[in-house]
Amino acid sequence: MITPVLLCGGSGTRLWPLSRKSYPKQFAALIGDSTLFQASARRLSGPEFAAPMVLTNADFRFIVTEQLAEVGVDPAAILIEPEGRNTAPAVLAAALWLEKTDPAALMLVAPSDHVVPDGAAFREAVRAGVPAARDGQLVTFGIKPTHAETGYGYLELAGDPGDFAARPLDLKRFVEKPDAGRAEEMLAAGTYLWNAGIFLFSVQAILAAFRDHAPELVAPVTAAVDEGRPDLGFLRLAPGPWAQAGDISIDYAVMERAGNLSVVPFAAGWSDLGGWDAVWRESGPDARGVVATGHATAIDCDDTLLRSEDEALEVVGIGLRNIIAVAMPDAVLVADAARAQDVKQAVAALKAKAAKQAESFPKDHRPWGWFESLVIGQRFQVKRIVVHPGASLSLQSHHHRSEHWIVVEGTARVTVDDEVKLVSENQSVYIPLGAVHRMENPGKVPMVLIEVQTGSYLGEDDIIRYEDVYSRD
């Protein structure tokens, strides 16, 4: 069996404003109805695959479980990284965990934010790499280039790939992201593949490779796994030893130093959606090169992407050429399509001016559901709160604010100090400043309420938790 290892701790900025630190692109439905993370989990499901492992951070752990449950995937393990240390420590942690549970397993390591339209073809490519992986090879997957891309690293083959059929080939070397001229040369040569960052190897082969080529990682990551703490079905890696592991990619730590490398070409379509130009390509532009997604309308436009993520906000483009326009409830991006890779500069500029839109998503996701701010004033705030069936907020109080709750859908079970009562649609309840309170959804459908906060300070850190079923500090 092959154990998929899904990496989903990243917080890329090149797809801002849709992708942000608090809710990155792997959890968004960028192409189709499923999120990229869900599509990755389903793509790596089937008779030859065991239940997946997931490596993520604490902020995303409940998003991961919720999205997997929505597509009927039950993970074998979810490892929580105390902090991002790049892909090498993450892969090593997964291998060490598997050594305890299935030491003869093959591991398929894959990012969870890629698009692979033909899942069957990808699974066939994985099968083609299995014999080499069982023989102790470290197998990587290279994508047949479709254009001279400067945003990817490359893999140089030792020989001509021929028809790019999926079969293990000898890998000569890894090549850093090129400039435009060098990318054109490599495309013309026909012996280079895009580096997809997807790997297949046995547990024992990759552990041996770490011991040989990155021995300094072995002790701290082993300690982080051995001292990890189970928490509500997750395994929290121990933060002390984890912090001692180097911040380094699997390519630099192991792959570029190893001699037992093979590469399987893949020519059936792939994208890491590394910019809005990639989203435009993968979305299937019409005859004039236009993609209008959601509540967007294009009039006499060419080679343009228009996208609105808010049903109350219509985006209309007239006479546009080579433009990217993406609208969220709290931020709008308008850019020349040729500058798609520069979107991260917008995030840096917003962070410099302390704009919350740089990193915070309009919807704030929680293990019990989500909320969004509708109106914010100097001493008041209005929120919409959605609570999943059977879910419960923590038992808490506030130093600086009181709250009014109005239920607009479903029924809430509300605790205010010693009183517990049900509050149904069109009913309200008042939470005085300092009162110990809790909100629960006892029903089988989502519960929606409007919360009106008033007080001198309305920040999310004005919470004293007394009990929490999700073990949040």
pLDDT at position 59, please?
Answer: 86
- Cα–Cα dist 334/326, whole Å: 7
Backbone φ, ψ for residue 353 (5° rounding): -100, 10
pLDDT lower than 50: segments of the chain: none
One DSSP character per residue, 398-440 reads -SSEEEEEEEEES-EEEEETTEEEEE-TT-EEEE-TT--EEEE
Output the pTM of the full model: 0.87
For residue 448, the surrounding DSSP H or E stretch is strand 447-455
Q: Let me know the angle formed at the C-alpha of 21 by 15 and 26, rounded to the nearest 5 degrees.
A: 60
Secondary structure (3-state) at 73: coil
Residue-level pLDDT at 348: 94
Spatial CB neighbours of 347, under 8 Å, sequence gap ≥ 6: 13, 16, 358, 359
- What pLDDT does 473 receive? 62
Q: Is the peptide bond before 17 cis (omega within 30 degrees of 0)?
A: yes
* pLDDT value for 339: 94
Q: What is the DSSP letter of 114?
A: -
Going by C-alpha positions, the residue among 373, 364, 404, 388 that lies closest to residue 447 is: 388
Whether 428 and 405 have beta carbons less than 8 Å apart is answered as yes
Alpha-carbon distance of 193 to 5, in angstroms, equals: 23
Among 108, 175, 115, 111, CA closest to 140:
108
